[in-house]
Amino acid sequence: MTTSMTGTDTDSRTWTGTFAALCAILLLTFTAFGSVIPVLPKLLTHELGGSDLAVGAAFGISAIAALLSRPYVGRLAQGGDVRHVIAAGTAGAALLGAGYAAAASLGGGAAIAALLALRVLMGMAEAAVFTAGSLWVVALAPEDRRGQLVGWYGLAMWGGWTLGPVIGDLLRREIGYGAVWTLHAVLPAIAVVIALRMPRGDLGGGAVSRRLVPRPVLLPGTALALAAVGYSALAGFVVLHLDHRGVGGGSLALGLFGASYIAVRLLFGRLPDRVGAAPIAVVSGLLEAIGLALIAVAHSPWPAGLGALIMGAGFTLLYPSLALLVINRSDPAERGAALGAYTSFWDLGLGAAGLITGAIATGLGYPAVFAVAACAALAAALAGRLAR
Per-residue pLDDT at 285 exceeds 70: yes
> Are both 275 and 320 inside the same structural domain?
yes
In 3D space, the residue among 300, 161, 283, 297 whose CA is nearest the CA of residue 223 turns out to be 283
For 39-51, write each residue's pLDDT tens digit.
Answer: 888 888 887 877 7
> Are both 217 and 163 inside the same structural domain?
no
> Are both 303 and 190 inside the same structural domain?
no
- Residues written for the chain: 388
Mean pLDDT of 137-151: 75
Report how far residue 261's alpha carbon sits from residue 18's, in angstroms, rounded to the nearest whole number: 24
> Are both 183 and 245 inside the same structural domain?
no
For 218-234, write each residue's pLDDT tens digit.
Answer: 889 999 999 999 988 88
Report how far residue 200's alpha carbon sits from residue 65's, in angstroms, rounded to the nearest whole number: 28
* Among 208, 243, 270, residue at a domain's last position: 208
Do 162 and 259 form a contact (C-beta atoms < 8 A)?
yes
Model confidence at 258, pLDDT cuts 50, 70, 90, reads confident
Report how far residue 25's alpha carbon sits from residue 189's, in angstroms, rounded to the nearest whole number: 10
Task: Calculate Rg over the CA atoms of the chain.
Answer: 19
76's CB contacts (< 8 A; 6+ apart) are: 85, 132
For 64-84, write each residue's pLDDT tens digit.
Answer: 888 778 777 877 777 677 888
Question: What's the whole-model pTM score?
Answer: 0.73
Model confidence at 245, pLDDT cuts 50, 70, 90, reads confident
> Are both 218 and 199 inside the same structural domain?
no
Residue 81, φ and ψ in degrees, nearest 5? -80, 110
* Among 187, 208, 229, residue at a domain's last position: 208
Provide the residue range defining the domain that includes 139: 1-208
Crossing angle for the helix pair 277-297 and 366-387, nearest 10 degrees?
170
For 333-378, write each residue's pLDDT tens digit.
Answer: 666 567 777 877 887 887 788 888 888 888 898 899 999 999 999 9
Q: What pLDDT score was predicted for residue 203?
A: 65
Model confidence at 4, pLDDT cuts 50, 70, 90, reads very low
Q: What pLDDT score was predicted for residue 207?
A: 56
Model confidence at 262, pLDDT cuts 50, 70, 90, reads confident
Q: Could you tell me what percent of the chain has a pLDDT over 90?
A: 29
> Are both 196 and 252 inside the same structural domain?
no
CATH number of the domain at 101, please: 1.20.1250.20
Per-residue pLDDT at 137 exceeds 70: yes
* Among 176, 208, 240, residue at a domain's last position: 208
Q: Which amino acid is at 112?
A: I
A 10 A CB-CB count for 79 gives: 16
Q: What pLDDT score was predicted for residue 5?
A: 45
Per-residue pLDDT at 9 exceeds 50: no
- Domain count along the chain: 2
Report how far residue 43's alpha carbon sits from residue 349's, in angstroms, rounded to the nearest whole number: 25
Residue with more model confidence, 332 or 322 = 322
- Report the range of poorest mean pLDDT among 24-33, 122-131, 162-171, 338-347: 338-347
For 269-283, write each residue's pLDDT tens digit.
Answer: 778 877 888 899 999
Q: What pLDDT score was predicted for residue 52?
A: 78
Model confidence at 38, pLDDT cuts 50, 70, 90, reads confident
Q: Which amino acid is at 367?
A: P
Q: What is the mean pLDDT of the chain?
A: 83
